[in-house]
Amino acid sequence: MIGWVDASAGASGDMLLGALVGAGVPVRVLQSAVDSVAPVPLSVSSVVRGGLAALRCSPSLPDAPPDSAPHPAPHPAPHPAPHPAPDGPHPHRTWADVSALLAASSLAPPVRSRAEAAFGALARAEGAVHGIPPEQVTFHEVGALDAIADVVGVCAGLVHLGLERLVVSPVAVGSGRVDSGHGSLPVPAPAVVELLRGVPTLAGPGDRESCTPTGAALLRTWASDFGPQPAMAVSDIGIGAGSRDPAGHPNVLRLLVGHPPDDSPGTITLLEANVDDQDPRVWPTVLADLLAAGAVDAWLVPITMKKGRPAHTVCALVPPAAVAAARSVLFTATSTIGIRESTRSRTVLDREIRTITVHGHAIRVKIARNAGTVVDAQPEFDDVESAARALGLPVRVVLTDAVRAVPESWHTEPPH
């Protein structure tokens, strides 16, 4: 299963919760996870935003600041934003307090590790903005409970869906200014900018905040990629609503869930072309373009053609829905004037994605099953590379640590 988040109107914890419920995650799954950390009830209702039917799912807390976007911010931060340690008597929770709550909970390990990663990202971003260590970042009590419910609920919902890949559209971050506990701040909020560093974003919609720090932290923690909707057969659609209904655009976040074209046994098309006059420096781009067009796999085979010319056969395994696009890539990105096409049978193992934490970074683990029995459990190399870059460590070191961090029980689970 794969998913795509349409964050073109912004993102918040509430909006993600509503989208998850709309996509088929039972409310009891979210509530059970939240209850294991803090007694925060979730409220679910059907609403209309900009003429679109949507679900509103939010923590029910007295005087809780809504973590929904877009919205104005008349007083202290409109989201459960962390702050430097205060001098006043108001109750606060530090990042260490939140981490201890998560550690003491009965959350499933994949949910706990992703929730810790999201809160860690939030604390690091706020620490960077305020010039303090992440450990000194504090959350206002009500805001902390609101954020815990959002983060834990969203992580539980995404784990329940068992997505192998989650792609997120460019994120709308809003524009203008908002009032906060620190005075008037530009939009996007400094913490949001920090959290979405390197992520494609766009201004608007509207002159208000569209993406909250909690929403940004969750997207950054869970996204496999950022970009347009991937090739998929959509099976479930969830539309999560923000708290306001502004004029001019629906204040919603959409979650599409489905199967990639190659996700089931059956037939697949093999495209092949022999090329003897291609600049070899172009081949990496050709292979990348084939994969972007929807190919399951793409590769080169060195060959010797007539007259003894060294050449390559470029090959691509392509599901039916992507054949035309892949064929176009071969004709436009290479010098070939002909393509061989054949139909092949293909069988794939059942796959499941879980998450481990290595040196504070979430790394996905792909578990493969044959007739229900686990036959392999390997860390995703892209996540290992990303963690290694962030940590400044050799990839081989992080890979070794990730392999060791995979629980032995995952390899020996009984068939199901």
Under a CB-based contact definition with an 8 Å cutoff, are residues 147 and 80 in contact? yes
H or E, element range at 256: strand 252-259
Task: Note the pLDDT tens digit of each residue in 335-348.
Answer: 999 999 999 988 88
Percent of the chain whose predicted confidence (pLDDT) is above 90: 53
Furthest-apart CA atoms within the chain: distance in Å: 86
**Which is nearest to 147 in space by CA: 174, 170, 126?**
126
Which pLDDT value is given to residue 396?
96
Q: At what angle do helices 395-405 and 381-391 cross, to 10 degrees?
A: 120
What residue ranges of the chain are covered by domains with CATH 3.30.70.1380? 267-345
> Which segments of the chain belong to CATH 3.10.20?
350-411
pLDDT at res. 144: 79
Q: Residues 342-372: pLDDT tens digits?
A: 999 888 888 888 888 898 888 889 889 888 8
Report helix angle 141-161 to 95-104, nearest 10: 40
DSSP structure class, residue 209:
B
- Render pLDDT for 278-323 as a digit per residue (tens, 0 to 9): 999 999 999 999 988 888 899 999 999 988 999 999 999 998 878 9
pLDDT over 90 (residue 239): yes
pLDDT (tens digit, 9 = 90+) per residue, 366-394? 889 888 888 999 999 988 998 898 899 99
Query: Does position 256 have pLDDT exceeding 70, yes or no?
Result: yes
Among 87-101, 136-150, 228-242, which stretch is predicted with the lowest mean pLDDT?
A: 87-101
For residue 77, give the nearest of 29, 160, 137 by alpha carbon.
137
Q: Tell me the pLDDT band of 207, cut-offs 50, 70 and 90.
A: confident
Distance CA 302, CA 309 (A): 11
CB 330 within 8 A of CB 339: yes
| The predicted structure's pLDDT at residue 335 | 95
Q: What is the CA radius of gyration of the chain?
A: 23
Residue 265: the pLDDT is 54
The mean pLDDT value for 232-260 works out to 91
Buried residues in 328-348 as b, exposed as e (16+ CB within 10 A)? ebbeebbebeebeeeeeeeee
3-state DSSP helix/strand/coil % of the chain, to nearest 5:
35, 30, 35
Top-confidence residue, 395 or 92: 395
- What pLDDT was estimated at residue 217? 95
CATH class of 350-411: alpha beta
The confidence score (pLDDT) of residue 60 equals 85
pTM over 0.85: no
In order of 113, 141, 346, the CA distances from 103 in angstroms are 9, 18, 43
50's tokens? 């900009």
| Region for 240 from its dihedrals, namely left if φ exceeds 0, alpha if ψ lies in -120 to 50, beta otherwise | beta
Q: Is residue 86 left, alpha or beta, with left meaning phi > 0 and alpha meaning psi from -120 to 50?
A: beta
Which residues, other chains included, contact 59 with Cβ-Cβ below 8 Å and sequence gap of 6+? 34, 40, 41, 42, 43, 145, 146, 149, 150
| In the predicted structure, residue 69 carries a pLDDT above the cut 90 | no
Task: Kindly report, residue by residue over 136-186, the tens digit of the pLDDT.
Answer: 888 765 457 889 999 999 999 999 888 878 999 999 999 998 877 667 889
Q: What is the pLDDT of residue 375?
A: 92
Residue 243: how many CB atoms within 10 A of its CB? 19
Across the chain, what does the average pLDDT equal?
86
Does domain 267-345 sit in CATH 3.30.70.1380? yes
pLDDT digits (tens, 9 = 90+) for 16-58: 999 999 999 999 999 999 999 988 999 999 999 999 999 999 9
Confirm if 13 and 212 have CB atoms less than 8 A apart. Answer: yes
The answer to whether residue 88 scores a pLDDT higher than 50 is no
